Amino acid sequence: MQLRKRRERDRTQTFLIEGHQEIKQAISAHFPLQALFFSSHSIEDPDLIDIIEKASYCGAHLVEVTPLLFTKLSYLNHPCGLLAVGEQRHLSLKDAEKEFCPSPFILVVESIEKPGNLGAILRSADAAGIDALFLCDRCTDLYNPNVVRASMGALFSVPTIELSTDEAISWLNRKGVKIAATSPQATIQYTEADFQPATAIVMGAEHFGLSTSWMGSAHLCLRIPMHGIVDSLNVSAATVLLLYEVVRQRQTRS
Amino acid sequence: MQLRKRRERDRTQTFLIEGHQEIKQAISAHFPLQALFFSSHSIEDPDLIDIIEKASYCGAHLVEVTPLLFTKLSYLNHPCGLLAVGEQRHLSLKDAEKEFCPSPFILVVESIEKPGNLGAILRSADAAGIDALFLCDRCTDLYNPNVVRASMGALFSVPTIELSTDEAISWLNRKGVKIAATSPQATIQYTEADFQPATAIVMGAEHFGLSTSWMGSAHLCLRIPMHGIVDSLNVSAATVLLLYEVVRQRQTRS
């Protein structure tokens, strides 16, 4: 499958979706599907037939293949029998902001490298109910099959906007959204900040952390207490902690 | 390198450690090193020379290899020039419990499948300062190179005990340690539980969650609020949330 390569995804503006859950969620979120490949074994399972019918109704071209060929198409160790080709969607900030709540809850990630981390971050972001994910100076392709997979379909539910660091900072400042960064040098713990007002949690790349542009623009610089020998958490672990601190504060004080 | 295979690690009771940080931490934690392979380029870097000298002082057999051969030995995309062979350590509960604090803070993980998840869990466990990690009915080998790598060396600092689910439950009950499990069906949120007393946070496998033995033994069944379309967090994300809720409560109320 050529679509495993980023260049091909960029050129065709399409991507691969594998897994029942993921394909169902893509359909629910009205992501246009160009095609759905299914193994001839799949039509023995009523759940899969339901997904195939829905995909067809939404305009996907259906392609039945032998189980052997399906195994070759699949990028999973345990193929589930369905593989879709979806069309990429590029949301503009102007469109997305119409849906934001009055005190928006934004997550910004800068130059994340590993697809597994970006996928796990999307999954946590969906669970925490953020208004939008800003993907700044992207490094990993949002439509990499491993991002789709690790997100468990959250890629389809989290409004994600790709933009430059400068554009993001300028928009957040214009809208009065507090920018909260984390740093091992910070003195205030992340549980001591006030996340009731409009907030953007900002997370940097795995090895290099946040760029100086973001560190210089942060209104809050927060510390995650570290009681062992490692000096930082994995980026997706740090992200879920910060996101759920916002959730905790907003539900207990509201 | 035969030690990339679990069978060979089990047979020889050794494992691979790659990365400056990781090797330094193994030395600090007094993990015996049998050998240290280093690229002839490494001896141009004072930091690496320091590690080589310390390893030699601790009894490691030093083996200098050409940069080309080192690249073949390494399991990283960007080899750092040092690769150690360490001896596995198997801690008994009897020995470990002597070091526990009066209200022990234990993490139990059951049958984790992905090395990356187990490594990230170790990293979070180190950061949260737990007393011990109980590895029940292990599925992924603790000494898998990807666990070592993803743990960022926390494998060497977190007292980890491998035991069966039955042994673990029986010990926790005997010591009066509260067992806290998470479940989407629970009604109490994880932030509402009282984590001051001795607590064991229990986490299940990626796909199947906790076994009925653990669910049936849990004193607390807790829910992580989910505000999106996915029905659960990644296991390492859920783990770090629970661990840091214990940290938050213990530092604010103590």
Per-residue pLDDT tens digits for A172-210 = 999 999 999 999 889 999 999 999 999 999 999 888 889
**pLDDT reported for residue A252:** 64
* B182 touches A at CB < 8 Å: no
**pLDDT reported for residue B131:** 96
* A113 touches B at CB < 8 Å: no
B212 CA: distance to closest CA in chain A (Å): 25
Sheet strands side by side (includes B61-65) = B14-18, B82-87, B33-39, B61-65
Strand blocks (E) in chain B? 14-18, 33-39, 61-65, 82-87, 105-110, 132-136, 160-163, 178-182, 188-189, 199-203, 220-223
A128 CA: distance to closest CA in chain B (Å): 6
Residue B240 has its nearest CB partner, among A225, A233, A247, at: A233
A173 CA: distance to closest CA in chain B (Å): 27
Reading the block at residue B238, the tokens are: 């859920």
Contact A236 B233 (CB under 8 A): no
Angle between helices A115-128 and B235-253 (to 10 degrees): 60
Query: Chains A, B: CB contacts under 8 A, how many?
Result: 112
Query: Quick one: closest CA in B to A206, which residue?
Result: B150
CA–chain centroid gap for B96, Å, is 15
Q: Is the pTM of the predicted complex or chain greater than 0.90? A: yes
Residue B12 dihedral angles phi and psi, to the nearest 5°: -90, -10
As beta bridge partners, residue B212 has: none
CB-based contact B241:B185 (threshold 8 Å): no
Between the CA of residue A132 and those of A143, A168, A207, B227, B246, what are the distances in Å?
Answer: 17, 12, 24, 13, 29
User: What is the ipTM score, two decimals?
Assistant: 0.92
Contact B153 A123 (CB under 8 A): no
Residue B233 has its nearest CB partner, among A116, A123, A229, at: A123
Residue B10 dihedral angles phi and psi, to the nearest 5°: -65, -45
- Write out chain A residues lying below 8 Å of B229, CB-based: 25, 28, 126, 153-154, 156-157
**pLDDT reported for residue B250:** 94
- Write out chain B residues lying below 8 Å of A129, CB-based: 227-228
Continuous H helices in A97-179: 115-128, 145-150, 165-174
* A226 touches B at CB < 8 Å: yes
Residue B153 has its nearest CB partner, among A156, A230, A232, at: A230
Contact A229 B124 (CB under 8 A): no
Residues 139-168 of B with CB under 8 A from A: 150-154, 156-158
A251 CA: distance to closest CA in chain B (Å): 10
- Write out chain A residues lying below 8 Å of B153, CB-based: 229-230
Continuous H helices in chain A: 6-12, 20-28, 46-57, 67-73, 93-96, 115-128, 145-150, 165-174, 212-217, 235-253
Contact B228 A156 (CB under 8 A): no
**Beta strand A82-87 with A14-18: parallel, antiparallel or unpaired?**
antiparallel
Query: Quick one: closest CA in A to B189, which residue?
Result: A248
Can you list the residues of chain A whose pLDDT is less than 70?
252-254
**pLDDT reported for residue A3:** 83
- Write out chain A residues lying below 8 Å of B105, CB-based: none
Contact A228 B25 (CB under 8 A): no
CB-based contact A161:A133 (threshold 8 Å): yes
Between the CA of residue B221 and those of A15, B107, B179, B202, B215, what are the distances in Å?
Answer: 39, 15, 9, 10, 8
Between the CA of residue A124 and those of A112, A115, B40, B59, B85, what are the distances in Å?
Answer: 15, 14, 44, 45, 36
CB-based contact A65:A40 (threshold 8 Å): yes
Residue B229 has its nearest CB partner, among A157, A224, A228, at: A157
Reading the block at residue B12, the tokens are: 């020889």
Residue A240 has its nearest CB partner, among B157, B228, B240, at: B240
**pLDDT reported for residue A126:** 97
Contact B234 A128 (CB under 8 A): no
Q: Which domains does chain A have, with CATH numbers?
A: 2-87 (3.30.1330.30), 93-253 (3.40.1280.10)
Question: Along the 254 residues of chain B, how does pLDDT read in single tens digits?
Answer: 788 889 999 999 999 999 888 999 999 999 999 999 998 887 788 888 999 999 999 899 999 999 888 888 887 777 788 999 999 999 999 988 888 888 999 999 998 989 999 999 999 999 999 999 999 987 889 999 999 999 999 999 999 999 999 999 999 999 999 999 999 889 999 999 999 999 999 999 888 889 999 999 999 999 999 999 999 999 999 999 999 999 999 986 54
Q: Which of A113, A119, A172 is nearest to A143 (CA)?
A: A119
**pLDDT reported for residue A187:** 92
Distance, CA of A189 to CA of A198 (rounded, Å): 19
- Write out chain B residues lying below 8 Å of A26, CB-based: none
pLDDT tens, position by position, B210-241: 999 999 999 999 999 999 999 999 999 999 99
**pLDDT reported for residue B252:** 64
**pLDDT reported for residue B45:** 85
Distance, CA of A224 to CA of A211 (rounded, Å): 19
**pLDDT reported for residue B254:** 47
B191 CA: distance to closest CA in chain A (Å): 8
Distance, CA of A39 to CA of B62 (rounded, Å): 54
**Beta strand A178-182 with A220-223: parallel, antiparallel or unpaired?**
parallel
A220 CA: distance to closest CA in chain B (Å): 19
